[in-house]
Amino acid sequence: PAKVRLRHLQEAKEAGRTFSMLTSYDALSAQVFEEAGIDVLLVGDSAGTTVLGYDSTVHTTHQDMLTFTGAVSRAVRRPLVVADLAFGTYQVDAAEAVRHGVELLRAGAEAVKLEGGAARADTVRALVDAGIPVMGHLGFTPQSVNALSGHRVQGRDHAAADSLAEDARALQDAGAFAIVLELVPSEVAGRITEFLEIPTIGIGAGPDCDGQVLVWQDMAGLSGFEGRFVRRFADLRGELLRAASDYRTAVESREYPTAEHSFE
């Protein structure tokens, strides 16, 4: 199958074909997701919580993102690899944003994602002008978890929905190629998806977005996260627990290893 590029996501929207994105932070999961035909791999700053054990993505650093981006990009050929700009690497000024964006592309990303709307439009434009494709991220923006008073659905009232729509338009006008909508009422996400020319990618944003994304450990039931918007497509936690317990029992009972696992 052909390498996924920006234009394929645009073509999918125009043809009414929904596409899939999953997070990935390591070579092995990336290879599995490529084989499964996932179109976009997001090296999300959620790595800080899912892999590194922090309680929010505020703690994920640029160096973390470079490391995980390298691991994923070295492992796959077909999916589009998008990497998050870490908290603090694009808010100070556009020049810093471009410098960090360049480093993510050098690490193997093909596009970057940043959080925020109209306030980030000039930064998005600077990145795009530098040849760095930008995915936007609106609604609940995890790097602002403290400012937003926790994980909450955004854009519920009319004024908030209108400002979300304005932010989406500002990102599109600034040159963003797609926008993630996180924790947004379905009806609001559907309306934004309809008026935007570029694709939307939903997480907790209902069925009407052009694409969908989940954190892979939530999707596969490894994290144990039970948000309303998550469907667990496997019970990896249960499976891994069973394997580790069986391994322990086999070791303690000397049932493993046997001669067939040993060298003469």
Q: Which residues are catalytic?
A: 182
Q: Is 113 annotated as a binding residue?
A: yes
Contact indicator for 68, 48 with CB cutoff of 8 Å: no
Minimum separation from the CB atom of position 44 to Na ion (A): 4
> What are 110's two structure tokens?
């093909």
Minimum distance of Na ion from residue 104's CB (angstroms): 13
Which of 84, 210 has the CB closer to ligand KIV? 84
Cβ of residue 151: shortest distance to ligand KIV, in angstroms?
11
Residues in contact with ligand KIV by CB under 6 A are 23, 42, 44-46, 84, 180, 182, 203, 213, 215
Q: Would the annotation count 3 as a binding residue?
A: no
103 has binding-site annotation? no
Partner residues linked to 138 by β-bridges: 181
Residues 6+ apart with CB under 8 A from 190: 206, 208, 209
Nearest to 98 by CA among 71, 134, 46: 134
Write the single-letter amino acid at 54.
Y
Q: Which does 64 bind (CB under 5 to 8 A by kind): Na ion, ligand KIV, none?
A: none
The helix/strand/coil state of 143 is helix
Report the SS3 class of residue 68: helix
> Given 3-state DSSP classes, what are the helix, strand and coil percentages for the chain, each rounded to the nearest 5?
45, 15, 40
Residue nearest to ligand KIV (CB): 44
Rounded least distance, CB 242 to ligand KIV, Å: 27
Per DSSP bridges, beta strands 178-182 and 211-214 are unpaired
CA atoms of 70 and 221, how far apart (whole Å): 25
Query: Measured from the CB atom, is 119 or 251 closer to ligand KIV?
Result: 119
Tell me the β-bridge partners of 134: 112
Residue 213 contact among ligand KIV, Na ion, none, beta carbon within 5 to 8 Å by kind: ligand KIV
Choose the one of ligand KIV, Na ion, none that binds residue 190, judging by a C-beta under 5 to 8 angstroms depending on kind. Answer: none
Q: Which is nearer to ligand KIV, 46 or 200 (CB)?
A: 46
Please state, in angstroms and rounded to a whole number, the distance separating the CA atoms of residues 137 and 31.
25
Residue 77 to residue 87: CA distance in whole angstroms: 28
84 annotated to bind ligand? yes
Select 231 or 243, whichever has its Cβ closest to ligand KIV.
231
Contact partner at residue 110 from Na ion, ligand KIV, none, CB < 5 to 8 Å by partner kind: none
Q: Is 59 exposed, middle or buried (0-12, 13-18, 19+ CB in 10 A)?
A: middle
> Which residues contact Na ion (rule: CB under 5 A)?
44-45, 84
Nearer to ligand KIV, 64 or 182 (CB): 182
The distance of closest approach from Cβ of residue 17 to ligand KIV in the complex, given in angstroms and rounded to an integer, is: 20
Annotated binding site: 45-46, 84, 113, 115
Annotated binding site for 3-methyl-2-oxobutanoate: 45-46, 84, 113
Annotated binding site for Mg(2+): 45, 84, 115
